[in-house]
Every structure is written in structure tokens, then in C-alpha cells.
Structure 1
């Protein structure tokens, strides 16, 4: 079939791509022009093109800053712990929901699990304070009412880490189940029926049918999560964190915020952002390569 004929028959599909392409060009590729700020002594009045070129001096200054290494360590540690705790949660929830047979309870459970994803982190921060606050938190009020000492969920580093991970699972796990449920729905039901006829237990059916059936989805999401190991959202550590636990809560996103907006060191902030992007690309390519070698599954 000629290209022109094929295009005439399928032009609607290409037309649907126009708006997403415009979005990516304007908001993803366009801002790449600002990457050169990392190599310039940026001046707001002179602009990007008029600022003096300084090469890699900004990167040298960043790598000599001890606060950068603390933020880098915390970013990797928090993301790694999130990978261990938050990554399996939606998979387990999806399998549990998929195995439910009572339709009304399944729909209600899905709705309750999805809701936290749509709540702003500012609101979640208020909820966390009301639940885990040392003096006014619901849990500590319950503990003190029965004669126990309050627990420093938000002021002790180890307790804060537990709170951070628990809140992250609560906020994200329900929404993450959508992809897994979609994949599970696509598995041929006849496989389950045949396994049941052969006497396979529910756990056996999950292990030999459900998990292999969504292996591609699991591997894809795992690669993306590993690729984001060096990146971390700003909202969660900034809102839940505080001065008392800064040794754990200060991550690269909050470090960039302090450098770029609070201190006005835009060049250093851009250098850190570029560092994150490059290392993140290396991570995702490495994870993709390892996955392809070990499981024959990859995203490219």
C-alpha cells in the first residue's frame, strides 16, 4: 500500500497526535533552551543569551557543596525504600481486587482506594499533622488517653521515615492498581477455568497465570521506577518534612528550591537539575538493558 493511500485512510489517527505533540514541543522540548543556564553566570536582566559563559564552574561548586551530597543520599535512600514498599503495594491490591467476586464491594473498594490520589499534598499534609502530630495528633491523643507516651512521628528521624513511607503508600497505591487491573482483565479467562478444573488452588492460579500474564506491565513499571531513582517529587518531602528531620527530609528537589528560589542561585539549581536528568537517563537505560538480558522484557 502506498504511503499516500495509507495516510488518507488513517489520517484521523495522526490528527489525534497533533495536540499531544504540540504539548510536548511547548512544555517539554521548548524549556530545554534553558539548560544552558547551568553553564552561564545567569543574570535576570541580561537574560540567557546575554549572561556570561562559565563552563562547568557551576557543577564544580555544586559537587563541593556538602548539602548536595546529603540531598543526593536522601533522594536515593527514600526512592529505594519507596521502591521496596510502594512498588509491590498496587500489585498486591490489584490481585486482591481482581479475585473479588462481589461486584458492589469491589467497586466500593476501588473508589476508596483511588480517592487519595486526587487529594492535594497540601491537604494531605494537614491530614498527616492531625493524625500523627505529637501534641494534637489523633494517634498520640489515643496513646496518652490510655497512659502511654506520645510517639514522635514527625520529629524523630526514624519515626518520620516510617510516616513518610506509610503516607506514600496510602496516597499512591490505589491509583497504581489501575494499570495492573487493566492487564489482569486482558488475561484469557479460559486459563483460570482450565486451571480450576485441574484442581489448582487460588494461590496457584495467581502464581502461574495472573503474575506471568502481567509480567510485561510489572517490568515496564519497574524500569520506570528505577529510572526515577535520582528524581523525587517536591511536594511530599517538603510538606511532610520539617527542620527537626531535615537530615532525612532534605532531597534534591528541596535543595534546588532553596538554591534557585530562596537563594537566587539559578545557575546552581539548573546544574543540579541537569545532573538529575543525565543520571536518570543512565539509570533507566541501565535498568532497561538489565531487564532485557534477564527477562527478555524491555521498554525499547
Structure 2
């Protein structure tokens, strides 16, 4: 056996082990969602069973339907992503290209906000939203989501703007294109892959968020991550229905990943392709 072949086999083995560690909980949850509670609690675990769709009927059409919660999560995730990218793009462009007072301080502030433990901000956020009457509202939760998604998006997007060759921008400015026209027609087409990656990460973070949603939300705004706890009580945990709800909550995330796979790969490799253009 040649050394390159042995190396590929070893890498394939490690990749297979890592993939199985990630896939096994998902497959187990999928199987659990088609089991009855009796099969779920059976010991030793039941591998051969008669699948049932009762769990999905209950979490979609029954009294414990999570469809309104999926809608709430979608509204919050889309609104957070749209507003984050609206503010993050010009902010990241300014930090990457412009010279202004306190530029280093603003960059450090953006980085420092990522180091703050979110749990320490819950009480101030709760008190602020309570004073404003914005508890349990889409607007209040969206603003809170912006406080941690916007710094993340800015910091991630700055590197993509810095990878665009400066000569392209200078040529556009010499043609009297102006800053805004240069950003729109010259810079953004070059970084759209990276911005797509940023938007996807912001969407996923907002969709999966739980801690702020459970404390600052309520009956009017209840995300799907919070609604899944309806199947957990002191008396019992409805594992099969919880697994069905989890599968439905994962479906939009998986679909986003599948349809945006090309943009994710392109965005994650744009720095390696255009690294020579960094000033």
C-alpha cells in the first residue's frame, strides 16, 4: 500500500468517525419521532418497530401544534437577518476602507461585544423592554437579537471587504462613481458570497436562539425552540412528540443549508482566492 493511499484511508476513517458522531443523534431523533411512547421507553432500545405518524399529526394539527411558533421564529429570524445586513454592510465597509476618528476603538468595541456573556445581559434587557412596553413583542425581541447579531456580522464582513483589491475601488472613484455607487456596483458584487455566508449565520443564530426568547418572549411571541419545552413537564417528558417537533424545527435550517451550500463554500474560500488584493 502506497503512502498517499494510506493517508487517504486514514483521513477517510477520521472523517467517517466525525460524521457518524454528528449524524447519529439526528438519526436517533428521527427514529424516535416515528415511535410510540412505549417503544421510546423500552429497554433495551427497540430498533425494529411499526412507525407511526401520530406524533407529527399532534405537533402540526393537534392541541400542541407548533405551527404558530414556527411562524414566530421565521418572522424573528427574517427580520433580524434583514436589519442586521442592512446595518452591517455599510458599517463593515467603513471599517475596512474609510479613515475616521476612533476607528480602532470602534473595531475593538465590535470585538468586545462578542466576549460578553449573554446571560449577564438578560436582566438589563428585561428591565429596558419592560420600561418601553416592548416585552413579548416582535419589535423588542428583534432589537435584542440585533445587539448580538450585528457585531458578529460586522466583524465577519470586514474581512471580505478587505479582500477586495483596492485598485478596483480607486478606478471607480477616479471615474467619479462616488462612494455609494462604488459600493453598490463594484464592491458588493465581489463580496456577495461572503455576505451570503454572513446572512446565513445570522439567520441560523436567530432561529436557534433560546435564552432571550424564553425570558423576553411570552404568549404573543413564542419561538419554536421555546415551544418544544411544552412537551417536558415534571410528571413526564413526551419524547416522541419532542423529537417530532425537533425534526420540524430542524427542517428549515437544513433546507437553508442545502440551497445555500454553493454560497457558503464560495464565501468561506473567498479570502484564499483574493488574499493577494488585501492592502
Q: Please say whether Structure 1 and Structure 2 have the same fold, judged by a TM-score greater than 0.5.
A: yes
Matched, 1:209 2:186: yes
Rounded to whole Å, the distance in 1 between the matches of 2:183 and 2:245 is 44
TM-score by structure 2 length? 0.76
Q: Distance in 1 between matches of 2:261 and 2:15?
A: 25
Q: Matches of residues 147-226 of structure 1 in structure 2 within 5 Å?
A: 151-154=132-135, 157=136, 160-222=137-199
Distance in 1 between residues matched to 2:267 and 2:151, nearest whole Å: 25
Q: Report the Cα offset of residue 75 of structure 1.
A: 1.6
Query: What are the within-5 Å matches in structure 2 for residues 1-300 of structure 1?
Result: 23-26=18-21, 28-35=22-29, 36-42=31-37, 43-44=40-41, 46=43, 48-49=45-46, 53-66=50-63, 67-102=65-100, 105-134=102-131, 151-154=132-135, 157=136, 160-222=137-199, 228=204, 231-241=207-217, 245-248=218-221, 250-260=222-232, 263-286=236-259
Instruction: Report deviation, 1:271.
Output: 0.6
Q: Secondary structure at the match of 1:88?
A: helix
Q: Retained in 2: the 8 A contact 1:232–1:251?
A: no
Alpha-carbon deviation of 1:187?
A: 0.9
SS of 2:176's equivalent in the other structure is coil
Q: Output the CA distance in 1 between the equivalents of 2:43 and 2:255.
A: 34
**Structure 1, unaligned runs of 5 or more:** 135-150, 292-296
| Deviation of the 1:251 alpha carbon | 1.5
Q: Is the 8 A contact 2:110 2:155 kept in 1?
A: no
Distance 1:70 1:83, change over 3 A: same
Distance 1:260 1:89, change over 3 A: farther
Structure 2 CA distance for aligned equivalents of residues 179 and 168 of structure 1:
17
1:37-86 deviations in Å (ceiling 9; x for gaps): 11112444625427964422211222222442221221222222223222
> Retained in 1: the 8 A contact 2:231–2:242?
yes
Q: CA RMSD in A?
A: 3.6
Q: Which has the higher contact order (CA 8 A, sep 6+)?
A: 2
Q: CA distance change for structure 1 residues 261 and 54 in 2, over 3 Å: closer, same or farther?
A: farther
Cα distance in structure 2, aligned partners of 1:256 and 1:89: 32
Taking a change above 3 Å as real, the CA distance of residues 33 and 219 of structure 1, as seen in their structure-2 partners, is closer
How far residue 176 of structure 1 moved from its aligned partner, in angstroms, is 1.3
The size of the alignment, in residue pairs, is 260
**Contact kept? 2:76, 2:207, Cα under 8 Å:** no
CA contact (8 A) 2:231 2:241 kept: yes
1:270 Cα shift? Answer: 0.3
Could you say if the C-alpha distance between residues 46 and 62 of structure 1 is closer, same or farther in structure 2, counting changes exceeding 3 Å? same
Please give the TM-score of this superposition, normalised by the length of structure 1.
Answer: 0.71
Q: Measure how far apart 1:122 and its partner are.
A: 1.9
SS in 1 for 2:52: coil
Using the alignment, how far apart are the partners of 2:47 and 2:138 within structure 1? 45
